[in-house]
Amino acid sequence: MIINIIYKVFKRKMSCDPVNIEEDLTVSGFLRQNPWGKMDNHHENIISSQIVHCPWGHTKGDIDNYNSNPNAFNKKFAKQFVNFPLNSYIVIGQAKEKKALVVQLISAPLTGILNHLIILRKKRTCNHDLTIIGEECKECEESIVKVYNKSSVTKEQLLEHMKNGHIYEDFHSIYRKVKIIGFVHFNDEECEDVKNYVNTCQNSIKSTIISIPKNKILTE
**What pTM, to 2 d.p., does this model score?**
0.84
Domain-embedded: residue 53: yes
CB 32 within 8 A of CB 204: yes
Question: What does the mean pLDDT of the chain come to?
Answer: 85
Give yes or no for a contact between 76 and 56, defined as CB atoms under 8 angstroms apart: yes
16 within some domain: no
Query: Does 47 fall in a domain?
Result: yes
Residue 101 within any structural domain of the chain: yes
Residue 78: CATH number of its domain: 3.10.590
* Whole-number pLDDT of residue 134: 60
Residue 150 forms part of a structural domain: no
Residue of 55, 63, 60 lying closest to 36 (CA atoms): 55
pLDDT at 145: 92
- 159 neighbors 166 (Cβ within 8 angstroms): no
Which helix (H) or strand (E) segment is 11 a member of? helix 2-14
The least confident of 12-16, 140-144, 209-213 is 12-16
Of residues 110, 87, 75, the one with CA closest to residue 204:
75
Q: Are residues 177 and 107 in contact, defined by beta-carbon separation less than 8 angstroms?
A: yes
Does the residue 36 lie in any domain?
yes
- pLDDT, position 87: 96
Q: Is residue 97 part of a domain?
A: yes
Least confident of 114-123, 129-138, 164-173, 186-195: 129-138
Assigned domain for 34 exists: yes
pLDDT tens digits, one per residue of 26-51 = 999 899 898 888 888 789 899 999 99
Give the pLDDT score at 10: 37
Given a cut of 70, whether residue 133 has pLDDT beyond it is: no
Number of domains the chain is built from: 1
Which domain range does residue 108 map to?
26-116+169-216
Q: For 131, which DSSP code?
A: -
Enumerate residues 6+ apart whose C-beta is below 8 A from 198: 30, 91, 93, 94, 95, 97, 100, 186
